[in-house]
Amino acid sequence: MTPAQFVMPAFAWRRTHRDAAGQRASMLEQSSRDLSVVTAQLIEAACRAKDGDSHGTRAHIARAVALLDEQSGSRLGGQNSALRLTQIPRGGFAAWQSRRLAAYVDANLAGKIVIKNLAASLDLSVGHFCRAFKRTFGMPARIWIRQRRIELAQGLMLTTGASLSEIALSCGMSDQSHFTRSFRRIVGEAPSSWRQTRHGTIEERVTELAYPGTKPP
């Protein structure tokens, strides 16, 4: 064997292969969750359109597009992120800082997210971080994080059969009661009724596509 040759031990190769497989599985799970959130936004837009709410329809479509753009930007190193700004707000975050925060929050929605840790990740004091966050995102960090949790919950409610208690834990809520209170505060109705109504809209749309010209009873 020449000095340039190197043979990786079998145990090291297995460990490297296992780590790479774990990373791929984690990325696939995150992508699936991201798409479920986009799906929920589009279904919500359809519901608003059905009710004649053009402003709400446009808002949810814009949110879905922004989420897709954000995900695309994260995969491409931020070249096409929805968080890029044509003009960085005075005193706000740079685009790369906003992307890093959004990616970290989305990857940790199932657990506790501490503002102090977010500030430390950008090497900022908590006070400076909170001011810059509000100027960039238009709201305090804790409220923005709560909204991201609810968006994830909406996606899971429409794309999985998980119970509300399971979804609550998946979104970092302490229990179903906590989840219900937060959901009602942001969305304006209880998660159970929201889920039922949206599933009804989906079923109606599927029926319309399968049997054109028919009307639901």
Tens digits of residue pLDDT in 127-172? 999 999 999 999 999 999 999 999 999 999 998 899 999 999 999 9
Q: Can you give the pTM of this predicted structure?
A: 0.70
What's the whole-number mean pLDDT along residues 93-114?
91
> Sorting pLDDT into bands at 50, 70 and 90, what band is 81?
very low
> Is pLDDT above 50 for 50?
yes
Q: What is the pLDDT of residue 180?
A: 96
Which stretch of 1-15, 59-73, 183-197 has the lowest confidence by average pLDDT? 1-15
Which stretch of 11-15, 162-166, 192-196 has the lowest confidence by average pLDDT? 11-15
Q: What is the pLDDT of residue 30?
A: 59
Q: Which residue has the higher pLDDT, 155 or 83?
A: 155
Mean residue pLDDT across the chain: 80
Is 85:132 a contact under the CB 8 Å cutoff?
no
> Is pLDDT above 60 for 73?
no
Percent of the chain, pLDDT > 90?
Answer: 43
- Report domain extents, the chain: 37-82
> Is pLDDT above 60 for 86?
no
Q: What is the pLDDT of residue 67?
A: 76
